[in-house]
Chain A
Amino acid sequence: MRCRALVSAAVIGSAMLVGPGQASAHGLIGREDLPVPDWLFGWAASTVLIISFVALGFLWRSPQLEKAQARPLFRLPLILEPLCGAIGVAVFAGLLYTGFDGVQSPQDNLLPTVVYVLFWAALVPISAMFGNVFRVFNPWRAFVRGCGWLIGRIRPNVQPLLTYPERLGRWPAVAGLVAFGWLELIAHNRDGPALLATLALVYGSIQVVGMALFGIEKWTDRADTFSVLFSIFSGISAFTVVDGQFAVRRPFSALSKMEWLPGTVFMICAAIGITAFDGASQGKLWLDTAAQLQSLLEGIGFSAPISLQIASTIGLCLAIALISGFYRLGVSGISSVDTSKTSVQLRQLFAHSLVPIALAYVVAHYFSLLVFQGQATAYLVSDPLGNGSDLLGTAQATVNYGLISATGIWYVQVGALIVGHIAGLALAHDRALVMFPNSKMAMRSQYWMLVVMVGFTSLGLWLLAQANA
Chain B
Amino acid sequence: MKQAGLLVVVAGVVIAAFLVLRPESKSSNEEKASTPPAVQQNQSAPSTTEATKSPEATAPAEAKVPLLEDGKTQTIKVRKGDEVHFQVKSAVPEEVHVHGYDLSKDLPAGELVDMKFKATLEGSFEIELEDSSTLLATLKVEPS
Contact = CB atoms under 8 A, between A and B. Distances in A.
Q: Answer yes or no: are A and B bound together in one complex.
A: yes
Nearest to B100: A31
Contacts of B30: 37
Contact of A20 (B17, B122, B133, B142): B133
A368 B125 CA distance: 13
Interface in B99-144: 99-102, 120-126, 128, 132-135, 138, 140-143
Nearest to B22: A39
A24 B124 CA distance: 11
12 contacts: A23-B135, A29-B100, A32-B124, A38-B31, A39-B31, A47-B14, A50-B10, A54-B7, A58-B3, A402-B121, A405-B122, A406-B141
Given A38-B31, A39-B23, A406 B123 contact: yes
B134 A30 contact: no
B14 A34 contact: no
Interface string B8-21: 00100110011001
A37 B31 CA distance: 8
A365 to B, nearest CB: 14
Contact of A34 (B21, B122, B128): B122
B92 interface: no
A413 to B, nearest CB: 13
Nearest to B136: A23
B6 interface: yes
| Interface majority SS (helix, strand, loop, mixed), chain B | mixed
Given A23-B126, A30-B99, A54 B17 contact: no
With most chain B CB atoms within 10 A of its CB, the pick from A50, A398, A401, A469 is A401
Contact of A30 (B13, B31, B126, B132): B126
Contacts of A51: 10, 14
A346 to B, nearest CB: 29
Interface in A37-57: 37-40, 42-43, 46-47, 50-51, 54
A30 B125 contact: yes
With most chain B CB atoms within 10 A of its CB, the pick from A23, A58, A468 is A23
Interface in A391-415: 398, 401-402, 405-407
B123 A401 contact: yes
A35 to B, nearest CB: 9
Contacts of A40: 21
B124 A43 contact: no
A147 B44 CA distance: 65
Nearest to B73: A23
When A and B form their complex, which 4 residue pairs have the shortest distance between CB atoms, in order from nearest? A30-B99, A30-B126, A406-B122, A32-B124
B123 A32 contact: yes
Contacts of B142: 34, 406
Nearest to B98: A30
B134 A20 contact: yes
A91 B99 CA distance: 30
A34 B22 contact: no
Contacts of A402: 120-121
B98 to A, nearest CB: 8
A32 B123 CA distance: 6
A33 interface: yes
Contacts of A47: 14, 17-18
Contacts of B123: 31-34, 368, 401, 406
Nearest to A398: B102
Contact of B99 (A31, A54, A58): A31
A226 B110 CA distance: 50
B124 A31 contact: yes
B138 A468 contact: yes
B70 to A, nearest CB: 12
Given A58-B6, A406-B143, A43 B23 contact: no
A297 B128 CA distance: 27
B100 A401 contact: yes
A29 B99 contact: yes
A135 B26 CA distance: 49
A24 B125 CA distance: 10
A43 B121 contact: no
Contacts of A54: 6-7, 10
Contacts of B124: 31-34, 468
Nearest to B77: A34
Contact of B126 (A24, A33, A46): A24
A43 B128 contact: no
A374 to B, nearest CB: 15
